A and B are shown apart, each in its own frame.
Chain A
């Protein structure tokens, strides 16, 4: 087995047992990642100098016999909207190009303190606005399973980096499905934690009431390990919850006795039959393992996407007002006078999808339309939350697809933005209701593209999701499959 096939936990154990040195592993990882990334484009930047220095520090700690983190020495990729001190962080945008944060995001700090090694920043849709990673100002990322397909988005770089085994895991963010959907398209495992479980300090905001940071790895067990490392209260994020969340203590408990609901509405029109069949097959695996699985009616599905896009765009229009050409990043050179700096910098600095969402949000918040759109969306959000509360009174988990189809071809989605928004139908509800969601690979289409399923649970019930994921991955092998591109590149 090649080193890049090791999961984060396997990698860490080999380092602890001195089967491989931290620097040796890191140098091999960087060489492999750079080579594979020529085909995939998952990373915007590699941070070799930082990573190699960190590797030597971690090795020294191990050699001195000091206590190190459970994933000490494991390399990872960080989404480009999460701040890393002194290392460029620009949300794959032009307007924030050349921004070197003077601080680490809390997630980055926690991983750094746990001796895990960030090797670079991963590509994404500009400011996380998109479902394909094609709105990145810098480049499009390719899906490792089909180089003519998108990796999904917005954490497309993070998902593609793991799928192509450039890194054992990565960190993404999820505002409306941005961890789960690319994980699904790329055949890897991704966790969107409960709102408030992981600190958002240092995550450059898109929709503040919806954003959450979470892990992407090949297995649910590794996601559990990483999640426990990054979750918890943070005084720098007053929306992080002051409570302890444990998932590893129940990780091998299986699903016996758990009730899993399958919403009939999730399997209606618009869902690719291949996706439907794969997800229903997964339901059988849970049933055979002792879970009680039944269909039920979950209302409000049709209202989730419109409510989501109003709220997300409204929050974006406010959050992105800070990009004005004064404090950081790009400033238009042709501007004269302060107002002109704002106008020209923003007009030249933002891409078209971002401009559209800022406009949509400013419209929904403007006097005259506030009640009809923004306020209405908040009322609908309350109804969606209630529909899930009712469901979780009966079920431990909800099982459904992540996306209606497998990964679309590059260049197709942006032609019809509304259709692209609609493809978020199964994922946005979890963000509106603040719920945790886990995406797991559960099959392949005839075209050999990965299919993903999604498990949802009530707030702070990540433990149940992850143990169901661990059980499923014990019974199946979809998560072990690797795209051919890795071998092809390796043989050169």
Chain B
């Protein structure tokens, strides 16, 4: 299939990536080539096949909702690029 500029725009906005013109051309070409190759899957008849997410018999795991200590807040925040008063700090989002 043909990967259009619109698809690249749309997908990069979904992925929160702001690619420059050069990157867009490169990624477009590479994705087109890869998708082309992936189209081999369409030669398989899968009409009656259930899509498989888990290969093993996975079941939901339940536990009691108990309050237990978590990681120390200041250790978590030490990794943040910006923090203040025990919270992650980001620019103002609401006017």
The number of chain B residues touching the other chain, given as a range, is: 35 or more
CB distance from A240 to the nearest CB of B (A): 10
Which B residues, 17 to 61, have Cβ-Cβ distances below 8 Å to chain A? Answer: 17-19, 23, 26-27, 30-31, 33-35, 37-38, 40-42, 44, 46, 49-56, 58, 60-61
For the residues of B in contact with A, the DSSP-based class is loop
Contact status of A317 and B15, CB under 8 A, knowing A99-B79, A356-B27:
yes
Taking a contact as CB atoms under 8 Å apart, the answer to whether A103 and B51 are in contact is no
- A interface: dominant SS: helix
Check B27–A238 contact: CB distance below 8 A. no
**Distance between Cα atoms of A81 and B85 in the complex (Å):** 30
A337 CA to B12 CA, complexed, in Å: 19
Task: With A306-B40, A380-B46, A417-B30 as known contacts, state yes or no: A100 contacts B17, CB within 8 Å.
Answer: no
Task: Decide yes or no: A330 and B41 within 8 Å by CB, A343-B16, A379-B50 being known contacts.
Answer: no
Q: Using A356-B30, A378-B52, A418-B37 as known contacts, say yes or no to A343 and B17 having CB atoms under 8 A apart.
A: yes
Q: Which of A239, A326, A433 contacts B90 (CB 8 A)?
A: A326
Give the interface residue-count category, chain A. 35 or more
A12 to B22, CA, bound (A): 54
Instruction: Please state if A328 and B12 are interface contacts (CB–CB under 8 Å).
Output: no
From known contacts A238-B61, A379-B52, A433-B55, infer whether A359 and B26 are also in contact, taking CB-CB under 8 Å: no
CB-CB under 8 A from A421, the residues of chain B are: 34
Contact, CB under 8 Å: B54 / A329: no
Question: Is A355 an interface residue when CB atoms closer than 8 A count as contact?
Answer: yes
**In the bound complex, how far is the Cα of B10 from the Cα of A306, in angstroms?**
23
Chain A residues in 8 Å Cβ range of B34: 309, 360, 417-418, 421
Q: Are A303 and B41 in contact (CB under 8 A)?
A: yes
B79:A98 contact, CB within 8 angstroms: yes
Residue of B7, B18, B55, B56 with most partner-chain A CB within 10 A? B55
| B88 contacts A382, C-beta separation under 8 Å | no
A295-335 toward B: CB 8 Å interface, digit per residue (1/0)? 00000001100110110000001000100111111110000
Measured CB to CB, the residues of A under 8 A from B are 98-100, 102-103, 195-196, 209, 235, 238-239, 241, 302-303, 306-307, 309-310, 317, 321, 324-331, 336-338, 341-344, 346-347, 350, 352, 355-356, 358-360, 362-363, 366, 372-373, 375-383, 385, 417-418, 421, 432-434, 459
6 more contacts with CB within 8 A, not counting A102-B75, A359-B15, A385-B55, are A326-B81, A347-B17, A358-B15, A375-B51, A379-B50, A459-B56
